[in-house]
Amino acid sequence: MNPRVKLLKEMVSDDLYVIDDVAVADAVLRRSMMRHMLPDVTFRGTPRPEPVVLSFRHHRGATSFA
């Protein structure tokens, strides 16, 4: 966790950083609608899909290097 995120989490937990619940809910809904309308667009903070790892062995009988 970077220092900036850590500081923000501490401020939120100490009630020093006010969060507007209505604004957060509105942002979540808007982002959801945009994802639905524009499925090919990626947003910051969106986890990337795990890459598919294929075996390099050509057949089942090949030995492993592990």
Once rounded to an integer, what is the mean pLDDT over residues 15-28? 86
User: For the range 46-51, what are the long-range contacts, defined as Cβ-Cβ under 8 Å and sequence gap of 24 or more?
Assistant: none
In which band, very low, low, confident or very high, does the pLDDT at 23 lie, cut at 50, 70 and 90? very high
Rounded Cα–Cα distance for residues 56 and 59 (Å): 9
Query: Which pLDDT does position 61 carry in this prediction?
Result: 67
- pTM for this one? 0.43
